Structures are given as C-alpha cells and as structure tokens.
C-alpha cells in the first residue's frame, strides 16, 4: 500500500507511474497555476509559474514537468512558492505593454506608461484581452503590479499585415504555448522560438510576417495564447468577453464536424473559438471555421421571398404569396405530368431534421423518390 | 468512416489517397501529422499532386490520373504473392478471395508501372509497409470517388483493407472524408433516390409499408428515383418539369456547366431555397430565404457518423425562416399537413423510422455527439464498425479490372485537368467569399502548372491563360507550382467567374452517378 503515494498540501494521494505533480494535483482539484502548460503537448517548464516546494529538494520544482514520486511531500502555496511566483509575475509584467489596471495599481507612472502604450498600440483602450488574460488573473491572485522593475521595451513592432491575426510582441511573455500549438497540436510547423536571451522572439520562416510563412491561419496560436500577444484582428478592441454570450455548436464547413463556440454580441456573431476538451477537434479549428463566419452577417443575405415577374425581374413577396404560388405550381405539375417529373435537391449543408422533412415532402407529397443532394458533386 | 477520427492516431500505417487533407480537412489532417510526427506511424500518400502531406510521407506514390484500380490491385498482387495477407481474417470474415486472387495475378509490379507510372520497386515496398501494419488506416476523399470508375476505386480500397484484416479494429478502417458538414446526415435520413432513412431500400415493400404507416399516406413510390446527375439531362429533354433546390448551387458545382445551365433553364418551374442569391437562384421562379447554421437548432452527422447538435446563436435576417418550416408550410398548403413544434420534434420522428438513430436523443448529445448505429437509448453508439461481422455477414471481395477514364488527352487537347478546393475557400464560395480575409488569401481562380509544361506554351507565372475543353473555356492566371505534375493542370472550382466546371466532363460513374471531375482533357493558350 505504500507504493505510489504522494502528499500534496497535507493530503495523501495515489498516482500512476509517469504522472507529473501537476497531473496528480489537478486530478484532485488542487489548483496549481500554469501559463505555458498546454494539454496534448509535452511540458516545457518555460514559464516557471507552476513551481512548487518539494520537501528535501534544494530548489523549487516545476510541477508540470516534475514526475510524482513515491513518498514525495509537496506544498503548492507555501511562502517560498508564493514569493517565487510573485517575482516571476513581476518580471513578466514589467516587460512590455501590460496596460491592464494591474500595472497602475499604485498609479505612480500610470499616465506616462499608458501614453507610451497608446502610441505603440494606436488605441487609447486597455489591453485587448483585459478580463480574459491568465497573466492578469495571476497578478490579482498574487497581488503584484509591474512597477517593481523598470519597464523594459520590446524591440519588435506589432505585426498587422495579415487579415486574421495581430501579433503584438510587446505583450508576449514567451511562454511558448503558440509554438507548441503550431508544432505539436496542428503540426503546421510555422512558428518557432528565434534569437536568444533578451532578444528572444517567436518567429515565422526566418522572421518573416505570418503571411509569408507556412502559416495557414488556423488560429490555434490565438486560442492558446494566455495573454494579449495574439488576438483576432477583427475582434481586437471590439469584442470584450463580458459583452458577449457564447453558443456551442457544430461548424458548417467540412465533414469533420468541429465543435465551436459562436461569440455573439448585439445579435451578431463576432468571434469563433474551438470548444476545448471535446471530440472530434478538442479545441482545434481551421481558418474557415475560425475566421470564415462573415457570411452570417452579410448584407447580401436573402431576407424576403422573391417571385419572378413576367418581365424576368424578381419582386419581393410575402411568405403567404410565395408559398401559395409554390404549392399551386407543384400541385399542377404533379397533377398534369406526375410526381416523377419533379425532383427535390436537398442539401448536405442543412440539418438532419431539414433533410428528413425535404425527403418526406418529395415522397409523401409529390409521391416520387427523385430526391438527391450534393454528395456526388 | 468505418472508424473514428481519433482512431487515426492509433494506426501504425496510414494510407492517404485522393485527399488533399491539409487543405480540405485541416483539423483532421492534424491527427495524421501527429501520428506520423510523434507516434511513429508510417504514412503512405498516393496522389498525383505534391500536396503538403507528401512532406510528411514515408512513401509517396505518384500515379497517373485515373489509374487507381491498377495500383491497388498491384498492392494486393504483391501482398498475396509474398503471403503477407491476414489468412485468418480472409478465411473467417470474407468471401470471394479466389476470384480476387485470380484477377490480381496479372497486376505485376512491372505491369502496374507501365500503366500508373509508379516504379515497380516502390509498389513492392509500399505493399510490404501497408501489409506489415498491426492496424492500417485508409483515408480517401473525392480524388478516389470523382471518377467514372469511382465505385470500383472504393471497392478496391475495401478489398485491400479486408485482405490485411484492417476492418473492425481500432486504428484501421476504410475512411472516406466527407467534404460537407452534413453529407453523412443527408444520406442517413433519406436524402437519396434509392433509400429511405437508415438506408432502407425504397424497393423493399416492408420499408414502403413502414413509411406509409409512419407518415399516414398511401401510394409511396417503390421505384428508385433519379440522381441529381440524371435529373438535369431529363430536364434538357423536357421530360422533367420542376426542381426544388435547397442550399445547393449546381450552376457552379455541376460538371459541364454550359449544359447544366441549359437544362435548368428548360425547367417549367424552379424553386430555390437558400441563404444567398446564388448563380442557381438567379434562374429560379421563386426564391425562398432561409436561416443559416448559426440561426437554427438541429443536428449534423459528421464524417465519423457522430450525430452532433447545432444551436441557434442569432436571429435569421429579415423574414428568413428555418428550412424545415418552409417545406412544411408548402406541404400543408398542398393538402398534406406537416407541422412540428421544433427541430427536436422532427428528430423524435426520425428516431421512430431510423433504426440507426433510434437511441440518439437531444439530451444525450447535449455535451458530446454519438456515433450511429445507436439502436437504443441505453446503447453507447458505435465508434468502430464491423467489429464482429459485416452487415451482409461476410465481407465480399470484388474482383475488379481496370477501366481507363472516359476522356483522355489527344493532339487537340493534350493536357489533363483535375479539379479541387483550396484551404481558404469552400465549395462554390457562396459562404467563404463573403469573408474579406479569405478573399485576400485566395482572391481568384488559377491554373496550377509545372514550370516545364508552362515553358512549352511560353507562359510565365501570373500570365492570363485560356483553358478550353470540348465543353467550354475559361480564362484564369497561370500559377507555377511544385505541387503540379507534368502533363496535368489543376484548377480550383470555387470561382463562378472562372468556373472549372465549364471544362469538366459529365461522364458518370454508373453506380454512384458521380461525375469524373478529376480527369478531363484540355488545351491551353495564352489569353489575349
């Protein structure tokens, strides 16, 4: 019975061989904060936020990569751990444009700081992911601001030259989640860590813009970015999480059937994210599923029934009139020529329920099996 | 798919053919790429074009267009000759092995090389690789089916999988990748001319009787109806009078568009129900505005037979209605009352007449979809098909000989054309071309060509070129690409203004009725 037991915060747990400290803890609802850890990818230990204290160990241990060992005694929120996390967060917050309220909590250099950010950002607003940021969450949790250390500037300008993704290096904390999402999850192999030391940067194709790289704009990197370094271009500053409701549904493009969330603001779809932890896609989407939703709000949508006049032009009609006309004409054709001169092309784009109704109409009303759809085309 | 998408990562050999997976099923392609990169799976790609997936492949066989039956028979020739097949599976689970063995005798690697251009030794290596798998998965798409012998191609792949015992196991399977969100579901619920829901034949008197009782009608037709590719020619001859088209754009997606257009114009009455004024809707007598996926409740069935929920997020624009509501209103006014409170009420009716969906309720798929067949509410669904037996008992080997494509190159039309999609656009572009960013990445049609072929016509990258077939012509820009195979050009079919389907051939597979989009003969000339 003494095999494979670990004590975390005074509680005794069993673990499976090869489980990490983080895995045992999260399985038992003990929250060890992480920034770089990405499900489905090997732990990198890059961010140092998940450090925990292990009895008898010289230094703190990264819970995401540290294997659980028999007899191990772990503290996840000891004073030493908290001190380490505060320091890590302070360093992250002091580097770049983290202009959430956290930065200005004791408002010494807030105005000057905000003006500097505004100049680089081209917007007077606070960080685009304010309220939806893991770094901000942790800054509150550990009550730190970015003012302990002088602000270090980012030497790399924002990249906005592609239609979908804004890369803001000033808000990047180099956690590497995007690199893992691109290489280990989607395996598009478009972005990597480049340069070294203080000059480290996430680069694409020898430090070119995404549009000139192997990037296919799946946006997995945006979805996993824990901060405001990668955001959807169309949603930036326009969509704040508290203004939207999320509706889980199934993508309407190819047959994979990815599960996604439509983010709705004022009756319009404004952003799409993959539904995580659920098959078949486990959070992943492609460029069409994530960014190709403008057709929903398109001004070109049909909004009223149309009937062709004798002069060949369409005119608007009421539902009543349009349906009467269709019922009358189809009835006449059935009567005169028989139901088999009618065909129903139902659709691989509409729901099962609608397909069922369409074939039922052809069979039960028109009395024909001339029912098909675009599977062949 | 006989297996699930998740199963791909459990395969030790994956054979992908006729599928440009990274562009057409990007999320699914990640499962393939992860299996190869991190889980030691071997990848075999069989495709004429140098698609992205070839850079992950251990073997890439580049066959001549339309010769798929030949290389598949060739693989089976080697596997049988070298005694690499699954004797137990063949003995216990299949019929017709002797006929198959006899037929593939002549498909020696040398003979296969003559027809397909695949080097004999490579064919042998690939045969050994696939047959050596504990679990081998075959993924295919329209590159296999869109041929006049597409059904033969699919049956041949099934032969290969059965020969190696790769059906009914985790990580195995014969897996068609569905190109549209609900192709699977449209077929499942009877959107086909030969079957009712759950593939119950319309020619089966019991099935007819069951539907008549369920629907409260008499006189349902027990005659197989027309496929879409058969309806239009009959319209041309005046035999066929009316079409009701929902959410489809045949005037971009059909083969030989010039002919298709004449057929549709010849109809007495055309109703089109859609979300946009498509090329097809412009020819309609009545256009009915419907709600799109984000505006409705319901279910889709994905390529792995998983029935999943669709939920309403926003209101439809103007007066647009749910598609089912429109059809029900028309039926009601024609004297057959169809009235439902909700899509869930329709789904409840589907369950009663569709044995494979009987156990799938909305509450059960609230969080996660279920794979059909799911015959009862306490049934967990069926992720992997054919684990114990095939629906017909034993799996049947089909001995299939090679038939060349319907149209071949000649002096006048010396180049082959093959068509497909690109990652940034979708089908006829009705939806994707409304997103500026997607148009920025893929703004217009193009003619993908190898620089060597282009040289023959003195064409430079970016030049405008006229491409003509026996049926029509289009003008588009030349794009040099190392994806291209010599002697063949590729044109995406998304773009109505340079519609690849003005060129394609309407010759059909005799069984499936699928047109031969993947092979026709064209000529090129520099556009003025």
Report pLDDT for A113: 82
**Token pair of B295 as six digits:** 């505006």
- Report CB contact under 8 Å: A292, B426: yes
Are β-strands B94-95 and A245-250 bridged in parallel, bridged antiparallel, or unpaired?
A: unpaired
Q: Has residue A105 got a pLDDT over 90? A: no
Read off the pLDDT of each residue in A106-110 and give the average, rounded to a whole number.
65
Report pLDDT for B14: 98
Give the span between the Cα atoms of B147 and B150, in whole angstroms.
5
Crossing angle for the helix pair B150-163 and B68-81, to the nearest 10 degrees: 20
What is the per-residue pLDDT across B472-500, written as a single tens digit (0 to 9) for each?
999 999 999 999 999 999 999 999 999 99
Q: Has residue A106 got a pLDDT over 70? A: no
Q: DSSP 3-state assignment of B64? A: coil
Chain B interface, mutation test: which of A255, A260, A297, A323, most B Cβ atoms within 10 Å?
A: A255
Read off the pLDDT of each residue in A227-242 and give the average, rounded to a whole number.
95
Please, what is the average pLDDT of chain B? 96
CA angle, residues B289, B291, B296, in degrees to nearest 5: 160
What is the per-residue pLDDT across A178-205, written as a single tens digit (0 to 9) for each?
999 999 999 999 999 999 888 999 999 8
Report pLDDT for B172: 97
Q: DSSP 3-state assignment of A197? A: helix
What is the per-residue pLDDT across B353-387, written as a single tens digit (0 to 9) for each?
999 999 999 999 999 999 999 999 999 999 999 99
Report pLDDT for A107: 57
Please, what is the average pLDDT of chain A? 94
Q: Has residue A65 got a pLDDT over 70? A: yes
Give the distance from residue B403's alpha carbon to the nearest chain A alpha carbon, in angstroms. 20
Give the span between the Cα atoms of A307 and B129, in whole angstroms.
60
What is the per-residue pLDDT across B504-524, written as a single tens digit (0 to 9) for each?
999 999 999 999 999 999 999
Chain B interface, mutation test: which of A309, A360, A361, most B Cβ atoms within 10 Å?
A: A360
Phi, psi of A114 (to 5 degrees): -60, -40
Report pLDDT for A100: 83
**Residue A256 CA to chain centroid, in angstroms?**
18
Burial of B295 (0-12, 13-18, 19+ CB in 10 A): buried
Give me the residue label for tokens 């799996």. B395
Determine which of A10-19, A139-148, B221-230, B232-241 has the lowest per-residue pLDDT on average.
A139-148
What residues form DSSP beta bridges with B479? B448
Give the span between the Cα atoms of A219 and A165, in whole angstroms.
7
Q: Which helix (H) or strand (E) is A135 found in, with range?
A: helix A134-141
Report pLDDT for A1: 47
**Token pair of A377 as six digits:** 């085309």
CA angle, residues A369, A370, A376, in degrees to nearest 5: 120
- Report CB contact under 8 Å: B228, A330: no
Report pLDDT for B420: 95
Give the span between the Cα atoms of B293 and B38, in whole angstroms.
36
What is the per-residue pLDDT across B311-359, written as a single tens digit (0 to 9) for each?
999 999 999 999 999 999 999 999 999 999 999 999 999 999 999 999 9
Chain A positions touching B38 (Cβ under 8 A) are 184
Count CB neighbours of A13 within 10 A.
Answer: 17
**What single DSSP character describes residue B355?**
G
Q: Has residue B68 got a pLDDT over 70? A: yes
Read off the pLDDT of each residue in A349-374 and give the average, rounded to a whole number.
97
**Token pair of A135 as six digits:** 């770094």
Q: Has residue A108 got a pLDDT over 70? A: no
Chain A positions touching B271 (Cβ under 8 A) are 326, 330
- What's the CA dihedral at A204, A206, A208, A211 to 10 degrees? -50
Question: What domains lie within chain A, and their CATH numbers?
Answer: 5-77 (3.10.20.740), 90-232 (3.30.70.20), 243-291 (2.20.25.90), 306-376 (no CATH)
Give the distance from residue B397's alpha carbon to the nearest chain A alpha carbon, in angstroms. 24
Read off the pLDDT of each residue in B396-404 and give the average, rounded to a whole number.
96
Count CB neighbours of B152 within 10 A.
Answer: 22
**CA dist list (Å): A247 to A270, B190, B249:** 12, 29, 29
Chain B positions touching A295 (Cβ under 8 A) are 275-276, 292, 430-432, 434-435
Question: What domains lie within chain B, and their CATH numbers?
Answer: 6-177 (3.40.228.10), 183-224+290-371 (3.40.50.740), 415-526 (2.40.40.20)
- Report CB contact under 8 Å: B302, A280: yes
Burial of A311 (0-12, 13-18, 19+ CB in 10 A): exposed
Chain A interface, mutation test: which of B190, B251, B264, B493, most A Cβ atoms within 10 Å?
A: B190
- Report CB contact under 8 Å: B229, A348: no
- Report CB contact under 8 Å: B182, A358: no
**Token pair of B277 as six digits:** 């004024």
**Token pair of A244 as six digits:** 């939207």
Give the distance from residue A238's alpha carbon to the nearest chain B alpha carbon, in angstroms. 17
Report pLDDT for A203: 97
Phi, psi of A120 (to 5 degrees): -75, -35
- Report CB contact under 8 Å: B248, A288: no
- Report CB contact under 8 Å: A343, B242: yes
Nearest CA in chain B to A41: B38
Give the span between the Cα atoms of B215 and A327, in whole angstroms.
19
Beta-carbon pairs below 8 A across chains A and B: 458
Nearest CA in chain A to B434: A295
Half-sphere exposure of B414 (CA within 13 A, CB side): 10
Q: Which of B322, B325, B319 is nearest to B310 (CA)?
A: B322
Q: Has residue A371 got a pLDDT over 90? A: yes
């Amino acid at each position: 019975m003494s095999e494979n037991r670990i004590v975390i915060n005074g509680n005794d747990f069993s673990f499976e061989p090869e489980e990490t400290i983080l895995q045992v803890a999260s399985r038992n609802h003990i929250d060890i904060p992480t920034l770089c850890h990405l499900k489905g990818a090997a732990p990198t230990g890059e961010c140092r936020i998940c450090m925990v204290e292990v009895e008898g160990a010289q230094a703190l241990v990264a819970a995401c990569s540290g294997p659980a060992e028999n007899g191990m005694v772990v503290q996840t929120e000891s004073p030493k751990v908290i001190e380490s996390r505060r320091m890590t967060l302070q360093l992250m917050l002091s580097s770049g444009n983290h202009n959430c309220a956290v930065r200005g909590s004791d408002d010494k250099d807030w105005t000057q700081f905000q003006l500097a950010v505004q100049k680089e950002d081209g917007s007077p607003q606070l960080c685009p992911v304010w309220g939806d940021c893991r770094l901000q969450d942790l800054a509150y949790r550990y009550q730190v601001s970015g003012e302990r250390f002088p602000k270090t500037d980012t030497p790399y300008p924002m990249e906005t030259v592609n239609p979908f993704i804004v890369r803001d290096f000033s808000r990047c904390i180099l956690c590497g989640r995007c690199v893992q999402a691109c290489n280990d999850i989607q395996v598009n192999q478009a972005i990597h860590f480049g340069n070294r030391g203080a000059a480290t940067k996430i680069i694409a194709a020898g430090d070119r813009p995404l549009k000139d790289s192997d990037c296919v704009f799946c946006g997995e990197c945006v979805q996993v970015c824990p901060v405001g370094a990668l955001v959807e271009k169309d949603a930036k500053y326009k969509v704040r999480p508290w203004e939207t409701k999320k509706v889980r549904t199934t993508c309407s493009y190819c047959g994979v059937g990815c599960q996604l969330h439509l983010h709705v603001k004022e009756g319009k779809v404004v952003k799409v994210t993959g539904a995580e932890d659920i098959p078949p896609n486990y959070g992943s989407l492609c460029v069409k599923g994530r960014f190709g939703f403008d057709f929903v709000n398109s001004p070109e949508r049909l909004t009223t029934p149309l009937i062709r006049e004798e002069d060949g032009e369409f005119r608007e009609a009421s539902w009543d009139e349009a349906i009467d006309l269709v019922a009358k004409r189809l009835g006449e054709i059935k009567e005169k020529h028989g139901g088999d001169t009618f065909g129903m092309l139902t659709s691989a784009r509409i729901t099962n329920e609608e397909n069922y109704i369409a074939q039922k109409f052809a069979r039960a009303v028109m009395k024909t099996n001339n029912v098909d759809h675009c599977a062949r085309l | 798919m006989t297996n699930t998408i998740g199963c791909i990562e459990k395969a030790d050999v994956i054979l992908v053919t006729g599928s440009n997976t990274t562009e057409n099923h990007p999320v699914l392609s990640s499962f393939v790429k992860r299996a190869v990169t991190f889980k030691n799976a071997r990848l075999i790609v069989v495709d004429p074009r140098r698609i992205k997936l070839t850079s992950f492949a251990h073997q890439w066989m580049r066959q001549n267009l339309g010769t798929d039956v030949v290389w598949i028979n060739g693989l089976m020739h080697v596997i049988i000759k070298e005694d690499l097949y699954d004797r137990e599976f063949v003995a216990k689970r299949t019929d017709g092995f002797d006929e198959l063995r006899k037929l593939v005798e002549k498909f020696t690697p040398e003979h296969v090389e003559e027809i397909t251009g695949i080097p004999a030794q490579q064919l042998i290596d690939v045969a050994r690789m696939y047959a050596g798998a504990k679990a081998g998965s075959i993924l295919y798409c329209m590159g296999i089916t869109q041929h006049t012998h597409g059904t033969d191609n699919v049956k041949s792949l099934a032969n290969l999988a059965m020969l190696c015992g790769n059906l009914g196991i985790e990580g195995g399977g014969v897996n068609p990748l569905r190109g549209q969100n609900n192709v699977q579901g449209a077929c499942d619920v009877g959107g086909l001319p030969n079957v009712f829901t759950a593939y119950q034949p319309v020619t089966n008197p019991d099935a007819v009787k069951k539907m008549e009782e369920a629907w409260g009608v008499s006189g349902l037709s027990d005659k197989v109806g027309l496929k879409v590719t058969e309806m239009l020619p009959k319209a041309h001859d005046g035999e066929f009078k009316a079409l009701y088209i929902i959410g489809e754009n045949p005037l971009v997606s059909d083969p030989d568009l010039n002919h298709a257009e004449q057929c549709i114009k010849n109809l007495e009455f055309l109703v089109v129900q859609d979300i946009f004024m498509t090329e097809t809707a412009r020819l309609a007598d009545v256009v009915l505005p419907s709600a799109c996926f984000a505006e409705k409740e319901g279910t889709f069935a994905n390529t792995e037979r998983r029935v999943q929920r669709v939920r309403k997020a926003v209101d439809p624009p103007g007066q647009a209605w749910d598609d089912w509501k429109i059809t029900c209103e028309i039926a009601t006014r024609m004297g057959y009352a169809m009235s439902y409170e909700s899509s869930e009420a329709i789904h409840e009716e589907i369950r009663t007449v569709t044995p494979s969906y009987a156990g799938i309720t909305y509450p059960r798929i609230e969080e996660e979809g279920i794979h059909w067949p799911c015959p009862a509410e306490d049934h967990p669904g069926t992720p992997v098909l054919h684990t114990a037996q095939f629906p017909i008992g034993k799996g049947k080997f089909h001995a299939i000989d090679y038939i060349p494509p319907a149209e071949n190159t000649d002096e006048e039309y010396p180049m082959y054309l093959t068509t497909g999609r690109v990652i940034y656009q979708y089908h006829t572009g009705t939806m994707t071309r409304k997103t500026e960013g997607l148009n920025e990445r893929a703004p217009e049609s193009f003619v993908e060509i190898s620089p060597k072929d282009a040289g023959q016509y003195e064409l430079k990258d970016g030049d405008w070129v006229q491409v003509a077939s026996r049926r029509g012509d289009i003008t588009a820009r030349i794009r040099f690409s190392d994806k291209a195979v010599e002697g063949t050009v590729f044109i995406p079919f998304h773009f109505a203004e340079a519609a690849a389907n003005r060129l394609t051939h309407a010759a059909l597979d005799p069984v499936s009725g699928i047109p031969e989009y993947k092979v026709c003969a064209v000529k090129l000339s520099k556009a003025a």
